[in-house]
Structure 1
Amino acid sequence: MDRTDYRILREIQANSRISMVELSRRVNLTKTPCAERVKRLEKSGVIKGYFAALEPEAVSAGHVVMVQVQLSRTTAAELEEFNAAVQRVPEIQSCMMMAGGFDYLLKIRTRDIAAYRELLGTAISQLPHVMQTHTYVVMEVVKDEVTLSLPALPGKRMK
């Protein structure tokens, strides 16, 4: 990837609905080469998709908890089974395997604490191989970005 690719990525992250004409203008390319670069970035998996950023409160998902999960065992098969099951719980917004005193950290969004309590009993505690969970209620979301901070200078070249 070169500087132009990074400029394209910055613009698309800021506004995924930008027209190709406007994107081309902002990165100082003509429309066809700009469109070819975007297609290459999509095909190579650098651009994974496009989405709308929603206001959580407006869609009844304003309550956030972080949940530490400790599994009873962590063999490859059990980790795969847990990972697959997490994918099927839509309220789990992110799931990260951790090094340290617990195995996973989940970010969960629900309508309110009662909805989370129900989810904890019906889905989270029922995930495969869960031995213990610790829930931390988020009192205020100060920063919750989905965009990536891109380096000023590109690293290695993309094939």
Structure 2
Amino acid sequence: MAELDRIDKKILDILQRQGRISMTELGEQIGLSTSPCAERVRRMERSGVITGYHAQVDPKSVGKTLLVFVEITLTTKSGDVFDQVRKALLHMPEVMACYLVSGNFDYLVKARLNAMPDYRDLLSSILQKIPVPSQSHSYVVMEEVKDTAIMNITF
């Protein structure tokens, strides 16, 4: 895809906050008529800039009141090991996000759960399914100060 221009970035900024906005209203906010605005959105969807739309669900409303971060350190590191870990963690529905990181540990996992017994089961499952785990450190969130999927887009 060609580089994003100022209008594309404005569109992305608005869509992050209002994913259900009509193309007419979006066009009005950025100063375009509906058709060219919709075409820009379709182009960014086709090219993979816009990867999807979703509803943001309150975790408490579905009983997911426990938020946990787990640091995982591996004893052995290789492309094969990283692929095995990736495959194992991708198939764990409780895992909302997972990052291979640099630093004192290898993976940072974010999980939302119902209660502590679910956390114990998840940790056990992670340590059993991934190859060569060395250690893990967990952090249970006491208060969520800020959690957003909205990126700051400069235009």
TM-score, structure 2 normalization: 0.93
AA aligned to 2:29 is R
AA aligned to 2:81 is E
Q: What pairs with 1:21-32 in structure 2 (closer than 5 Å)? A: 21-32=24-35
Q: Aligned partners of 2:38, 2:5: CA distance in 1, in Å?
A: 15
Equivalent position to 2:39, from 28, 36, 52:
36
Aligned to 1:114: 117
AA aligned to 2:94 is E
Aligned to 2:100: 97
Equivalent position to 1:70, from 68, 73, 81:
73
- Cα drift, residue 131 of structure 1: 2.3
Aligned to 1:156: none
TM-score, structure 1 normalization: 0.91
Equivalent position to 2:84, from 81, 84, 87:
81
- Cα drift, residue 127 of structure 1: 2.6
Equivalent position to 1:125, from 119, 124, 127:
127
- Residue 9 (structure 1) aligned with residue 12 (structure 2): yes
Number of residue pairs matched by the alignment: 151
Structure 1: gaps of 5 or more residues: 154-159
Which 10-residue stretch deviates more, 128-137 or 21-30?
Answer: 128-137
Equivalent position to 1:139, from 124, 138, 142:
142
Q: What pairs with 1:46-65 in structure 2 (closer than 5 Å)? A: 46-65=49-68
AA aligned to 2:79 is A
Report sequence identity in percent: 40
Q: Aligned partners of 1:49, 1:107: CA distance in 2, in Å?
A: 21
Structure 1 runs (4+) deviating above 3 angstroms are none
What is the RMSD computed on CA atoms of the aligned residues?
1.0
- Cα drift, residue 73 of structure 1: 1.1
